[in-house]
Chains A and B, each alone.
Chain A
Amino acid sequence: MSGEPMSWEYAPAPESRDIANLKPAYRMFVDGKFVDGTGEPLKTINPATEEVLAEVATASKADIDTAVRAARRAYDKVWGRMPGAERAKYVFRIARLIQERTRELAVLESLDNGKPIKESRDVDVPTAAAHFFYHAGWADKLGHAGYGPNPRPLGVAGQVIPWNFPLLMAAWKIAPALACGNTVVLKPAETTPLTALVLAEICQQADLPAGVVNILPGAGDVGAELVNHAGVDKVAFTGSTEVGKLIQRSLAGTGKKLTLELGGKAANIVFDDAPLDQAVEGIVNGIFFNQGHVCCAGSRLLVQESVADELLAKLRYRVSTLRLGDPLDKNTDVGAINSKAQLDKIRELTESGDSEGAQKWTSPCPMPDKGFFFAPTVFSDVQQSMRIAREEIFGPVLSVLTFRTPEEAVAKANNTPYGLSAGIWTEKGSRILWTAQRMRAGVVWANTFNRFDPTAPFGGYQESGFGREGGRAGLEAYLDV
């Protein structure tokens, strides 16, 4: 099993970038129209090639004010008073339009973000459509959701989303907001604004009333301005714990409702009776899915000592077979790191793993000669005090620790200020339930990892944030309850 992987020749199988309908310039979406922003335009690049994809308008302070006012008008005059059954039909339309334009959105997402086309095609875009479809059905059933007979919306939601799942995060934010009767001003991430602006086009095609959804590209300053705007009633943020804390602090005393979905350092626990080959697939999915740019990534592998050597050998072999490269190639497993800044951060933390004495193993996969890429890396002999065991790397880097008893596994898993997700691998059902009960984390995957569904609430404990997205529990974030 160990040693050099067998050599397989793959024929290139790239998706055509023409499918993305890439335009040279994108404008922001305010009050039902695409308009020029008065902020400094940004250039979004393809992280796999470092070439500029498009120029994108950004919002100034005045633009933010205009968008929030448009959202308020739409809320007061149209959306807030529309019967739920009618709202539902608009949201269903959006779901259908995403499904119709799936291929275009997937290619555009992979171009802008760097993620492999098989992931944008099979996960990001279909799950985004599913979120709209699921929440649409709630719009006229909110009285049955357990928040009283006639729960009211909050008003205007200011939403700021990250670059790791650009379209999917927009769906997670916009779908429940609209279903509950709120209007939205959303800021996509600076490096990945394109699919959110196609979603704006979809809102137009769905004939969504003007001002119900507004999309304002820009950097962190636009996000800060948006969440602090006096006309915003609710703030939803997905991103780093550092920025989440800043937002929570800046909203103190305003009475705005806040939900935060922040960072993580999830433990993925492998017990000695686990089916190791299956566990290896789950470990790989847990940390190398989306280049590890996942807040709930299984970035700390906790292996029972008695199977650690065997598991590590299998894991290294499997990781060495991952194909890294062109995100548009259907055979690519690991795409590009989203930005130079993120690549630098991954390198810096990886160097700290070296200098703190962990054993580094890097996949011998061939590396493209341009673009932002980082080879899958596994650190063993990791101690809990090391930075690579404590800090979120947000990249394809796995830290492996060992344990002897289930109690030790639980203690190590919970030894973090985060608490977003956890993984458990064992054949024993009672051990799964025992361990799951003890995980201080919002999502626990047993004998699987990184599963998402609009019906299943997602969100963190402790410094991984508060509030849930998905399921009945997720509606609370957008209702005045």
Chain B
Amino acid sequence: MSDRVSVAKTYKLYIGGAFPRSESGRVYAVTDSRGGFLANAAQASRKDARDAVAAARKAFPGWSGATAYNRGQVLYRVAELLEGRREQFVREVAASEGVKHAESVVNAAIDRWVWYAGWTDKVATVLGASNPVAGPYFSFSVPEPTGVVAALAPQSSSLLGLVSVVAPVIATGNTCVVVSSQNRPLPAITLSEVLATSDVPGGVVNVLTGRTGELAPWLASHADVNALDLTGAPESIRAELERAAAGTVKRVSRAGRGGEPDWTREPGVDRLRAVLETKTVWHPMGV
């Protein structure tokens, strides 16, 4: 069997549950850590970014309206499918990142989906409240998804970092446009295949590959994006992206400022809280 010619995969974008090429027709060569050719990835354009935002917006009512129990099962399903393709991800992460510990990274990425799957139906208990107001009213506060989140995935950690950025966004009922690591985009697209065949509805996660510095400003200024996660943003454009985000008062997460965090540590609720609004509801009490 060793003389068999393998079937190489064309890596494309993941938008609205489909795998289109970039409308621009552009691709860029992706290499392994030693400079060997791996594949041509789609180099997404401004229009691809806008299509991705439109898909994410369209998916938002359904996904945010799903029950927390349902979302938890869908996220758990992602972990199940990832587990089944563990070997493939180990190979791909090893090639992308040139690391020996790819196996532990993939394990951690699978476990992270499980961790966030368990959060979907607990976050409202932990972050919500019944408010003891000084009057005859029942007042309660619930966390709600902020909407469409544009995330710039970390540049180094191509799978675990990506999952750590995307999972909390969708666990809380938001929908997501994520720009993968620029130079290590392949695990992101393979993850899209997992998402597409799991029960995550099309448009809930949209994956763009290409130049972070080219795509990020369009997402930062897009009026239908509610929040911007700067985790993988190059230092040189972080301030510019924050300025663009101010145009529609976006929530900006400045994670990743001064370098990538250690993704193997247990995350905590920070990333959940960053994409949640608090809604307070009042009603009088009386007979």
Contacts and interface: CB of A to CB of B under 8 A. Distances in A.
Given A249-B246, A448-B137, A455 B281 contact: no
Interface in A162-211: none
B277 interface: yes
A451 interface: yes
Contacts of B36: none
A251 B243 CA distance: 8
Interface in A413-470: 417, 432, 436, 439-448, 451, 453, 455-459, 461-466, 468
Interface in B246-287: 246-249, 251, 254, 257, 268-270, 273, 277-284
B131 A255 contact: no
A448 B127 contact: no
Given A255-B254, A444-B282, A473-B127, A455 B132 contact: yes
A246 B243 CA distance: 9
Contacts of B132: 455
A472 interface: yes
Contact of B273 (A453, A458, A476): A476
A457 B283 contact: no
A443 to B, nearest CB: 5
B205 to A, nearest CB: 22
B127 A130 contact: no
B139 interface: yes
B243 A444 contact: no
Contact of A456 (B133, B273, B284): B133
B284 A455 contact: no
A362 B239 CA distance: 48
Contact of B281 (A244, A260, A446, A464): A446
Contacts of A464: 249
B245 interface: yes
A461 B226 CA distance: 9
A253 B239 contact: yes
Interface in A374-411: none
A105 interface: no
Interface string B56-72: 00000000000000000
Given A253-B238, A448-B283, A457 B278 contact: yes
B135 interface: yes
A248 interface: yes
Given A253-B242, A436-B281, A471 B249 contact: no
Contacts of A255: 254, 257
A241 B278 CA distance: 19
Given A432-B283, A468-B278, A248 B246 contact: yes
Interface residues of B, number: 41
A466 B247 CA distance: 14
Contacts of B107: none
B141 interface: yes
A109 to B, nearest CB: 20
B45 interface: no
A220 interface: no
Contacts of B239: 252-253
Could you say which of A241, A245, A251, A471 has the most chain B C-beta atoms within 10 Å of its C-beta?
A471
Contact of B279 (A441, A455, A463): A441
A451 B137 contact: yes
A461 B283 contact: no
A224 interface: no
A367 interface: no
A448 B284 contact: yes
Contact of B242 (A252, A441, A457, A458): A252
A199 to B, nearest CB: 21
A472 B278 CA distance: 11
A73 B2 CA distance: 73
Nearest to A258: B252
B7 interface: no
B226 A448 contact: no
A262 interface: yes
- By Cβ-Cβ distance, the 7 closest A-B pairs, closest first, are A253-B239, A252-B242, A248-B246, A453-B133, A249-B246, A456-B131, A252-B243
26 contacts: A130-B134, A241-B249, A245-B246, A246-B246, A249-B246, A249-B247, A252-B243, A255-B254, A260-B249, A442-B280, A443-B281, A443-B282, A446-B281, A448-B282, A448-B284, A451-B135, A451-B139, A453-B133, A453-B135, A455-B132, A456-B133, A456-B141, A457-B131, A466-B249, A471-B131, A473-B141
